[in-house]
Structure 1
């Protein structure tokens, strides 16, 4: 008999095996929403445009954000971990989401192959803590990296760019240099509070920290209510 997938107020989810103690998985298994303030903010500020969501994990953000997009708008989701990506694909199916483009790549400032750690030294899956590393080895797999400047069609207007890429934010942002200049989206960056780097890299756009949502820093070119 098939097991009923866990759910919360936004939808149903395929959760990865062996990761029940991870915060996002634990929340969904309990029928709760992980990072509810972040999802609510993204839903409220999509403003008719597309949303980019990188570090999709098993897709816990997908139903809530996708449901709030305007007609014709799209959620562009990126997840490099093959196991997490497979769960996110199933989450899309469980919720019949048709306005989401999910891609099994990491983000960087060049199109390259990355060494990506998916398991720890004991072989346990890292799930959402998977990250880019310097060298191959046990628990490390090769994944493709894409640049947002090429991954997102140039005729799309992006309202929000949200990154949860475990320390790879600077390279991912550099790969979105032209997109950010064209669209000036709200930036939601996990644990990346280097405002001076953002201002130097995207000089003249006026980005500044507007506040925090859970562990995320929110940058915008105009004042926002968080």
Structure 2
């Protein structure tokens, strides 16, 4: 009976044109079972259990994926199939890590995420996808300790001081560099989503990127972050081209003189990997 009631509530939330998340939060206050609601992921026979009052889990509870990142998911899944070693910096609750692991079951998927609230989710994902490794540390340009800002919107939490979502907690976390932890690894794919801290992650990964020339999918909301990333890859000796990931699914060469109103996601493609024209992107899971 509990399961039927919970699914009925979440089905109603999903059908509401607006206000569904607010209703889910109120319902979770009354029904503790909604804090352990099973969300079915569309690319695996796996249910991720989580709290529907967490903004980052609510979309998975209602439809199983994030509508705003469908194109990025398809590109990451395609690139994962070409990869043996994948690094996910800013793994959050593990949806992308699960997609990468499902798309490349023989690949090693290494996830970096320091936020304690995300760990129960990541642990479930790692227990199901045995090719996933979790590193509960932040990534930056120098090893040490830093203060991680946990925000009301969990997916907006980061080491960067940017962001409009209210800060609910400040957590001391260990910071590592990709250069120091992966000096002996041949990394094929690097995904970075750290809410404005992308420059620091890249700064601590220069040697690895020079050596491995990985495919890099990164987020850049702010113009200064995008400009840093552009100059960073321009300076890499192996040679990189940058592409904007359009909402239509197209990969457009990055135009530094034009704004990118459609996207905040980008692909850095090493020219050493050959032309990008053979990239045939298909849906990675059912919508």
- The reply to whether TM is greater than 0.5 is yes
The whole-number CA distance in structure 2 between the counterparts of 1:157 and 1:41 is: 21
Deviations 1:137-183 (A, max 9, x none): 972110111111122251x3211111001111111111111110111
In structure 1, which of residues 160, 182, 190 is the aligned counterpart of residue 211 of structure 2?
A: 182
In structure 1, which of residues 45, 50, 53 is the aligned counterpart of residue 88 of structure 2?
A: 53
Contact 1:158 1:185 in 2 (8 A): yes
How much has 1:50 moved relative to structure 2? 1.0
Aligned to 1:30: 62
Give the TM-score taking structure 2 as reference length. 0.66
* 1:116 and 2:173 are equivalent in the alignment: no
* 1:171 and 2:205 are equivalent in the alignment: no
The whole-number CA distance in structure 1 between the counterparts of 2:159 and 2:118 is: 15
How much has 1:218 moved relative to structure 2? 0.7
Aligned to 1:193: 226
Contact 2:150 2:168 in 1 (8 A): no
How much has 1:200 moved relative to structure 2? 4.6
Tell me which moved more, 74-83 or 48-57: 48-57
* 1:221 and 2:275 are equivalent in the alignment: no
How much has 1:68 moved relative to structure 2? 1.9
- Aligned Cα RMSD in Å? 2.4
The whole-number CA distance in structure 2 between the counterparts of 1:133 and 1:210 is: 24
The whole-number CA distance in structure 1 between the counterparts of 2:125 and 2:48 is: 5
* 1:77 and 2:111 are equivalent in the alignment: yes
Contact 2:140 2:177 in 1 (8 A): yes
How much has 1:54 moved relative to structure 2? 1.1
* 1:131 and 2:155 are equivalent in the alignment: no
In structure 1, which of residues 25, 44, 51 is the aligned counterpart of residue 78 of structure 2?
A: 44
User: Secondary structure in 2 aligned to 1:63?
Assistant: helix
Ranked by relative contact order (alpha carbons within 8 Å, sequence separation 6 or more), the top structure is 1
Tell me which moved more, 27-36 or 77-86: 27-36
How much has 1:14 moved relative to structure 2? 3.4
**How has the CA–CA distance of structure 1 residues 5 and 212 changed in structure 2, closer, same or farther, with 3 Å as cutoff?**
same
User: Secondary structure in 1 aligned to 2:64?
Assistant: coil
Gapped runs of 5+ residues in structure 2? Answer: 3-32, 162-166, 248-263, 282-287
The whole-number CA distance in structure 1 between the counterparts of 2:60 and 2:244 is: 26
Between the two proteins, the alignment pairs up a number of residues equal to 211
Asked which structure has the greater CA Rg, the reply is 2
* 1:141 and 2:176 are equivalent in the alignment: no
**How has the CA–CA distance of structure 1 residues 118 and 16 changed in structure 2, closer, same or farther, with 3 Å as cutoff?**
farther
User: Secondary structure in 2 aligned to 1:179?
Assistant: helix
Contact 1:118 1:131 in 2 (8 A): yes
Gapped runs of 5+ residues in structure 1? Answer: 120-124
Give the TM-score taking structure 1 as reference length. 0.82
Aligned to 2:120: 86
